[in-house]
Structure 1
Amino acid sequence: MPNADGNSNSDNLPVSGDFLRSAFQSMLRARILENKLSSLYKAGKIVGGVYLGKGQEAISSCLGTALIQGKDCYAPLIRDQAGRTAFGEPMIDCTRTYLGSVEGPMKGRDGNIHRGRPEMGMPAMISHLGAQVPLIAGMLFAKRLKGTLEGCVGATSVGDGATSTGAFHEGLNLAAVEKLPMVVVVANNQFAYSTPNSRQFACADLTDRAKGYGIGGFSVDGTDLLACAQVVSNAVKLAREGGGPQMVVAQLLRLGGHGEHDDGSYVPASAKGGHYGRDCIDVAIRQMVDGDYATAEEISTWQEEYSDEVQRAVAQAQQEAVPDPYRENWTALSTKFPLSVS
């Protein structure tokens, strides 16, 4: 896959079978979990929106798999359940948040997708598109000031629409100037909600923007697990070894609406029936079996195991208490002494 300078040094990067098995398992777990969330939403069991990563699991899981939990930092976006899973987020964190349990990471206080575990290097998600690019840049710069940046990588995932925001530009520009070890994955799902690429940007390809920032840029077929593993692994390696920021643009299609409330009727049939309209899970299953990375029997067993895991996580979250508005302390920040108003 060519980078912003026309090089193709990612093509020769070997990807281990263990990496592919791990990434694929995260894809499966995320898809089975999100299918259940969709059913709960349609049954009226979830308050608020449900946003699924169907069609984006390959690129997302590869990014999460390439990172090192406890060392790196990762800011996932709304369609990154596969990446969250690969980075080590417990499934119960997701079900507790969607079902409003006080035992969840946000204690039932926040929206369904705004969860995080800052102590494990995963900040809570910010809805404002592009805002997590400067956030990760800031986290990396803070590590530099503390003397703990060596060997670390910070990563985030955004959509094509986020690349048109000021936050994206400012964050990436800072990271480029400071040569921070950051990887930004752009999931170009062809629509910013319902706005097509043709109304978002005029450049031929979003990787062209990497040239302007003076950073590495790669384009990859986001429906192809093997290609995603190769390109993302290479981008993370380059960043970790001092190559500065890297941007990976994954070409894919969101296989559904913006959220479960949206029927996606604005997506033309030609796009749905085109190459990027194929399901990355189906592609990955063929690749895993054909490449002898896993057998069909193993995959079937994993699907059963993950279905049971999802059922247990949902059942546990449903049995837990939700916030009591009359007793809940909604204070976000506290100080040792009362604040003076004088």
Structure 2
Amino acid sequence: MIISRTLESKLSSLYKAGKIVGGVYLGTGQEAFSASLGCCLDQGKDIFAPLIRDQAGRTGFGEPLIEATRTYLGSVLGPMRGRDGNIHRGRPAERRPAMISHLGTSVSVVAGMLMARRMKGELAEVVGATCVGDGATSTGAFHEGLNLAAVEKLPIVVLVADNQFAYSTPRERQFACENLVDRAKGYGVTGREVDATNLLECLSVVGEAVKAARFGEGPQMVVGKLLRLCGHGEHDDASYVAPELKDSNLGRDCLEVGIQQVVENEVATLDEVDLWKREATEEVQEAVANAQTDPGPDPYQDDWQAFSSKGINS
């Protein structure tokens, strides 16, 4: 969580300085929810398709910082070879599909990857996971993907970050149900709800969902109640968020809550937390510096990889 917050703070500064092409989308306030999923998955066999605010989950699942900085800064050495930017990055061969859209599409992608493994006889104790926002739950892609996953009883975990807004559209203009978790029952999916500002609660509830999916209990949906503590992107000042919402329990900073819990449970001291912060700053600065010295893509030399070459050169 600390590394994620530190990285995104640096990315915000680079964006405002005109050093990043395209948008910058932060996960401020959602780190506990996202990191819990990344840390509960098995990096050696599980599938993880993160969303735009899931840097904490990416880090928890083992994505190197250099992959993030290289993608944001357009390095040809990054996972997208400088041809796509910001959160649109991944390594499918390592079970990290690149994000297609933040509007629920990843549910179908992960479901398809799980079905492919089933057909190959490679699905034993494998979990596929993805994240969406409250806005995505109103899209056709989300409904179709989750319905398919439920019918096929796939071991998928879908985290829904109910951060109160789909860009600037409030919850009451998105759906009429009181709680999004109530929708899970209609699909035949196990639903859970969690205070996503509470790190320990997130680790417990998300961990239960991952375990249930892994051992044959079918799709799991976890709804995290929280508030996005930033704009939709760094281009958005979020002036539509009411002050009373910011002052509510939903507006708590999960990073501050997490640090308090770590200290109270004697996992670490405040001095050790300060050390983590310094180390995170050094790691981020190194990753940014390395990416800034990388070459950009050369359109005259790139093979574009637009067509499959299987069999062509044999």
Shift of 1:204: 1.1
Distance 1:240 1:278 in 2: 32
Shift of 1:36: 0.4
Distance 1:333 1:252 in 2: 43
Contact 1:70 1:121 in 2 (8 A): no
Distance 2:41 2:102 in 1: 24
- SS of structure 2 residue aligned to 1:285: helix
Distance 1:336 1:291 in 2: 55
Determine if the alignment matches structure 1 residue 133 to structure 2 residue 107. yes
Shift of 1:135: 0.6
**Aligned equivalent of 1:19:** none
**Aligned equivalent of 1:284:** 258
Distance 2:33 2:190 in 1: 17
Determine if the alignment matches structure 1 residue 232 to structure 2 residue 206. yes
- 1:1-342 equivalent positions in 2, closer than 5 A: 27-336=1-310
Percentage of identical aligned residues: 67
**Aligned equivalent of 1:24:** none
Contact 2:29 2:197 in 1 (8 A): yes
Distance 1:52 1:147, change over 3 A: same
Moved more, 144-153 or 318-327: 318-327
Distance 1:139 1:190 in 2: 30
Distance 1:234 1:336, change over 3 A: closer
- Gaps of at least 5 residues in structure 2 are none
Contact 2:23 2:234 in 1 (8 A): yes
Distance 2:257 2:96 in 1: 29
Distance 1:57 1:243 in 2: 27
1:48-76 CA-partner distances (Å, limit 9, x unpaired): 10000000000000000000012100000
Q: How many residues align?
A: 312
Shift of 1:337: 6.1
Distance 2:52 2:305 in 1: 26
Shift of 1:206: 0.3
Amino acid at match of 2:244: S
Distance 1:209 1:291 in 2: 35
Shift of 1:331: 3.1
Distance 1:265 1:181 in 2: 39
Shift of 1:324: 1.7
- SS of structure 2 residue aligned to 1:158: strand
Distance 1:86 1:128, change over 3 A: closer
- SS of structure 1 residue aligned to 2:191: strand
Query: Normalising by the residue count of structure 1, what TM-score does the alignment of the two structures yield?
Result: 0.90
Contact 1:108 1:322 in 2 (8 A): yes
- Gaps of at least 5 residues in structure 1 are 1-26
Distance 2:276 2:102 in 1: 35
Following superposition, which runs of at least 4 residues in structure 1 exceed 3 angstroms of deviation? none
Shift of 1:297: 1.2
Amino acid at match of 1:195: T
Contact 1:161 1:192 in 2 (8 A): yes
- SS of structure 2 residue aligned to 1:102: coil
1:269-314 CA-partner distances (Å, limit 9, x unpaired): 1111111111100100100001111111111111111100000000
Contact 1:100 1:107 in 2 (8 A): yes
Distance 2:232 2:297 in 1: 28
Distance 1:331 1:140 in 2: 25
Shift of 1:141: 0.7
Shift of 1:336: 4.4
Shift of 1:113: 1.2
Query: Normalising by the residue count of structure 2, what TM-score does the alignment of the two structures yield?
Result: 0.98
Distance 1:205 1:293 in 2: 34
Distance 1:263 1:326 in 2: 39
Amino acid at match of 1:171: G
